[in-house]
Amino acid sequence: RVGVPVANRTRSETQGLIGFFVNTQVLKAEFTTQTTVAELLQQVKQQTLAAQANQDLPFEQVVEVVRPQRSLSHSPIFQAMLSWQNNETSDLALGNMNLQGVA
């Protein structure tokens, strides 16, 4: 499971407000050694779209429903976080390796 912060500004009246409205989504992917990269990407796409569709659900309510075993040493549902960045699409070169964005 991976946590993903979202801006939580889905309503037009919040666009001009100053403040920290972030909410955290949790994305989960299950795979085996037989799972293809295409299958994994499709699963992640579906999980991401579902999470975006429900981004107004507060993370705290997700924790209440899931009721995970709690520890002060880590987050209750995930231990890794991915932060999306909205950047202009451009190719990147690292030495002899060329990287391209995935749409």
Residue 102 inside a domain? The answer is no
Residue 103 located in a structural domain: no
Which tens digit of pLDDT belongs to each residue from 1-45?
Answer: 899 988 877 778 877 888 888 889 999 889 899 999 999 999 999
Q: Give a yes or no: residue 99 inside a domain.
A: no
Phi and psi based region of residue 70 (left: phi greater than 0; alpha: psi -120 to 50; beta: remaining): beta
Looking at the structure of the chain, the number of domains it has is 1
Domain that holds residue 27: 2-86
In a domain, 57, yes or no: yes
The answer to whether residues 83 and 6 touch, using CB atoms and an 8 Å cutoff, is no
User: 14: which residues sit within 8 A by CB, 6+ positions away?
Assistant: 8, 21
Instruction: With respect to residue 93, please indicate whether it lies within any of the assigned structural domains.
Output: no
Output the pLDDT for position 103: 61
**Residue 30 forms part of a structural domain:** yes
pLDDT for res 45: 92
CB 2 within 8 A of CB 26: yes
The alpha carbons of the chain give a radius of gyration, in whole angstroms, of 17
Q: What's the pLDDT at 94?
A: 82
For residue range 55-99, list pLDDT tens digits in order: 888 898 988 998 888 888 888 888 899 887 766 666 777 888 887
